[in-house]
Amino acid sequence: MINFRRTKIVATLGPASESPEMLDKLIKAGVNVVRLNFSHGSADEHRTRAENVRAAAKANGVCVGILADMQGPKIRCGKFKTGKTMLTPGQHFILDGDMSLDDGDDERVGLTYKELVGDVVPGARLLLNDGLLVMDVDKVIGQEIHCTVVIGGVLSNNKGINRAGGGLSAAALTDKDKEDIKTACAIGVDYVAISFPRHGADMEYARSLVRAEGSNAGLVAKVERAEAVLPENLTSILEASDVVMVARGDLGVEIGDASVPPVQKRILREAPKHNTPVIVATQMMESMCENPIPTRAEVNDCANAVLDGTDAIMLSGETAAGKYPLQAVEAMHRTCIETEKQRVLPSAATRDPHFPPNSIDECIARQAMESSHMMPISAIASFTQSGNTVLYMSRHLTKSPIYALTPSAETAGRVTLFRNVIPKPVSDDYGPKDAQKATRDVMAMMLYDKLVTEEDLVIMTLGTPMGAAGGTNTMKIVRVGEVFTKEI
């Protein structure tokens, strides 16, 4: 059994990691959530990957969440007749909305997003291939965007295009995304990630599409547009989303690489006010696509995200197509473990204590967290139908692991992304008056799994009568051994 880790690891599946054998190794190494990247692959391929993940998780006796990541309105150039062209500084080059997507040459190339011509004006700066190539717009004639190359290099087929400072009008959800949402919901994913939302309304629309498919999957907002980090837009996104992802790739292209670190820290400060978990993503262990160990800078990047209170850190190409997917997960795991040892855990909540609880179960969760600092608590065991109580707990810092005791497979999948929370499936046949029996059963299970000893103190939260979602109204501190000899 690996060491208990509070910060969750999300790993992207791809050719390097999708085999049942590698999935088994990754889950043993500590992957909590897998990401299905819908920018690549067919519906059948994603369905097979999800089935293999569930089989590997079951074989290892753990819960592993599944996140479906929508492609979004990624604006790309077309293809070149020769596969690529070399651009030099000062060169004139045309992005042509009328040109066939397969006929690019050394002078011009087609566009997948024809409306780009209406989103740029002379003086606008365009960044291609994740900012490695830079062009300034000189003029727009019909469907042609005439540019001067500022930073040159090789431009090959289907490379992405961003506008510095944002301002592109492309909707967050494309027709492809809408079809992919149907596939993701049919697969039964735990989370659906939406690319390039501009404000909360984009997330609300995405939620309506997910619910229309009969799915209760959580919605992840990928913060990667300049507009999304404006204070009013970020607030609306945090309120409308279940999780936010700091997607530093496209975000860095739009706002500039030097602006990303303070924005990341701002999001990590603001999210707890809305009870919103955070994933930090992109290039966290990028060098491990080619090398078996990370750079010191990458280790520091992961560690700083942990110190700032992120719920999860994510691997992308490192596990999808890299040479060392298992080593990347292992490196991320040991970085989290060592960082969490050094982490100063304040007695106050991560969520601003001046924000009053919004419900009884949030009030109970807060009291449980405060009690875990005042007493030598070995674990927190929370009966939860919806996962809300453990979500509220996970917004606070504690040294005690939080066990989410739930009869719902849907809830068990959802809480895999919450910091410090471990899903534990339990029976759903407890009656309204079975609180004492449930307490004894859980303590027996935790003793059997060697999670606690008979002398340990455990905080328990539950709803009485039992079985109602959102009904948590009770907190008690029990000594494990006394549960079997006394009325609790």
Is 339 among the catalytic positions?
no
CA distance 377 to 373: 8
Please say whether the beta carbons of 159 and 128 come within 8 A.
yes
Is 35 among the catalytic positions?
yes
Is 414 among the catalytic positions?
no
CA distance 30 to 10: 9
Joined together, the tokens standing for residue 373 give 């600092």
Is 366 among the catalytic positions?
no
Catalytic pick among 6, 76, 163, 207: 76
Catalytic pick among 5, 6, 8, 35: 35
Q: Residue by residue, what is the 3-state secondary structure of 329-341?
A: HHHHHHHHHHHHH
Catalytic pick among 8, 79, 108, 222: 222
Catalytic pick among 282, 339, 398, 416: 282
Active site residues: 35, 76, 222, 282
